[in-house]
């Protein structure tokens, strides 16, 4: 019983995160402006990181951790590159 509820609750969490990603995707594809798309991607990244964490909990294996850590620490680099591109037209001046 408990096993089932654990499984289900984590699965539900993952499905929710999947939905969150889907909504983020909506912004990525629909915009309407470039900044919306980039914000969408950023959200996608965050949710993906959360998905990785839930996956870690689900499997009780800590090997997912580096990926999550990299999203947390370095994932923002592509977003700021996008942001700078919007603002300045080039990302390294």
Note if the bond before 27 is cis, omega within 30 degrees. Answer: no
CB of 32 to another protein, least distance (A): 9
The C-alpha atoms of residue 14 and residue 50 are separated, in whole angstroms, by 9
Locate 85 and state its tokens.
């591109």
What's the closest the beta carbon of residue 5 comes to another protein, in angstroms?
A: 7
Structure tokens at 9: 């609750």
For the CB of residue 2, give the shortest distance to another protein in the complex, in Å: 6
For residues 48 to 67, the per-residue mask of contacts with another protein, x marking binding by CB under 8 A and - elsewhere, is: xxxxxxxxxxxxxxxxxxxx
Considering only residues 15-44, where is the footprint of another protein by CB under 8 A? 15-29, 31, 33-44
């Amino acid at each position: 019983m408990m096993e089932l509820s654990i499984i289900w609750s984590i699965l539900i969490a993952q499905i929710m995160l999947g939905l969150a990603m889907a909504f983020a995707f909506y912004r990525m594809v629909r915009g309407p402006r470039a900044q919306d798309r980039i914000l969408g991607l950023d959200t996608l990244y965050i949710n993906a990181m959360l998905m990785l964490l839930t996956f870690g909990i689900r499997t009780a294996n800590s090997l997912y951790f580096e990926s999550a850590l990299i999203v947390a620490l370095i994932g923002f680099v592509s977003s700021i590159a996008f942001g700078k591109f919007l603002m300045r037209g080039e990302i390294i001046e």
